[in-house]
Amino acid sequence: MKTLKFLVFGILIFSLVQCSDTDTDDGGTTTPECTSAKVVDKSRGECNETLTLVPSVRIEIVGTNRVITANSIPNHKVGLFGNVAGSLNPNAIKAQNKTYTITNQPVKAAQFFSLTNATTLSLWSFGVLLNGVELDPIAAEPWPHQGLMATNVNWEWNLEATNVKIGLDCNNAHVQPTGKYHYHGSPTLYLQNANIPSDKMTLVGYAADGFPVYYKYACTNATDANSPVIAMTSSYRLNPVKDRVMVSLRLVALIPAYIAMIMSM
């Protein structure tokens, strides 16, 4: 019986270890095969609504600043919003009176600036597109997505807006209670209507720090404007050290429970 217990214990630990990264022949690591209990919802509402509100945006240079004045009305079709049946959220799109003052002499910062504040829950806009609509990737909700008053709410982990159902239309956008339409992800129809070529860099907006925002096509050499233009890809990578530490912590946390289960056999 004791041999059987140790055998079962070994099999359980081996199964847990399979969730960690494994080495490959080229020295890299494979993607973990573990699955999460969190459900990712990337559904989007259809964009069949043509607004009667007229878009308004003005961009001018004032001293060392770029001043963008806009009413936040998009120049493309949107999803159904407002207090009507079938709407994506109950907030109707309304014209705003927004002024963005952004430096036109941006300088690379020495450290990262957070768009959130875990103490005051303040949120900062990432930037604004040339059509005057904000880029606002962060949702004012924490992760896990279980309600603002849930017992395990942790504002250190902000909700990834494009992975949960928060009433986004096909442009990855929705409406705040004030009526402000804003993008949480790639502005699909804005980009389609812009007829962006694939052989040159195309300006689509400005970030809050003053740096320009281009669509995905960029020079292969960032310091050479004459270098070939290619489609950029994400530089996102898993942190292998942090990933292994988390796997180890999960193992340590689960071992007592497995020992208790086995000893009761």
Instruction: With a cut of 50, say whether residue 217 has pLDDT above it.
Output: yes
Say if 198 falls within a structural domain: yes
Check pLDDT > 80 for residue 122.
no
Q: Is the pLDDT of residue 258 over 50?
A: no
Helices (H) and strands (E) in the chain, counts: 3, 13
pLDDT tier for residue 75 given thresholds of 50, 70 and 90: very high
Q: What is the mean pLDDT of the chain?
A: 80
Domain assignment present for residue 37? The answer is no
Residue 49 has phi, psi (to 5 degrees) of -100, 130
- 49-58, 214-223, 227-236, 256-265, range with greatest mean pLDDT: 49-58
In-domain check, residue 184: yes
| Domain match, 65 and 115 both | yes
Percentage with pLDDT > 70 across the chain:
70
Q: Tell me, what's the pLDDT at 143?
A: 72
Pair type for strands 127-129 and 229-231: unpaired
* Residue 215 belongs to domain spanning: 57-231
Provide the 8-state DSSP code for 110: S
Q: Give a yes or no: residue 43 inside a domain.
A: no
Residue 125 has pLDDT above 60, yes or no: yes
For residues 108 and 172, membership in a common domain is answered with yes
Residues with Cβ within 8 Å of residue 88, at least 6 apart in sequence:
45, 79, 80, 81, 167, 168, 169, 174
Per the structure, the count of domains in the chain is: 2
18 shares its domain with 131: no
Q: For 169-178, write each residue's pLDDT tens digit.
A: 999 999 999 9
- What is d(CA 72, CA 97) in angstroms, rounded to the nearest whole number? 8
In this prediction, residue 111 carries a pLDDT of: 87
Does residue 48 belong to any structural domain of this protein?
Answer: no
* Six-digit token string for 184: 């949480």
* Claim to verify: residue 7 and residue 138 sit in the same structural domain: no
Contact between residue 59 and residue 130 where contact means Cβ atoms under 8 Å apart? yes
pLDDT at 206: 97
What 3-state DSSP class applies to 241? helix
pLDDT number for residue 115: 74
Residues 67 and 191 placed together within one structural domain of the fold: yes
Average pLDDT estimate for 232-259: 60
Q: What is the pLDDT of residue 242?
A: 54
188 shares its domain with 137: yes
Regarding whether 245 and 221 lie in a shared domain, the answer is: no
In this structure, is residue 45 part of a structural domain? no
pLDDT greater at residue 197 or residue 38:
197
Same domain, 188 and 116: yes
Within this chain, do residues 107 and 222 fall inside the same structural domain, yes or no? yes
Q: Quick check: 145 and 159 in contact, CB under 8 A?
A: yes
What's the confidence (pLDDT) of residue 159? Answer: 75
Residue 38 located in a structural domain: no
Tell me the pLDDT band of 74, cut-offs 50, 70 and 90.
Answer: very high
Token pair for 249: 């912590």
pLDDT band at residue 52 under the 50/70/90 scheme: very high
Mean pLDDT of all residues in 145-174: 81
Q: How confident is the model at residue 244 (pLDDT cuts 50, 70, 90)?
A: low
Establish if 201 belongs to a structural domain.
yes
Co-location of 224 and 150 in the same domain: yes
Residues 6, 109: one domain?
Answer: no
Query: Between β-strands 127-129 and 203-207, what pairing exists: parallel, antiparallel or unpaired?
Result: antiparallel
pLDDT over 70 (residue 252): no
Digit-coded pLDDT (tens) for 10-26: 444 444 444 445 445 55
Both 189 and 247 in a single domain? no
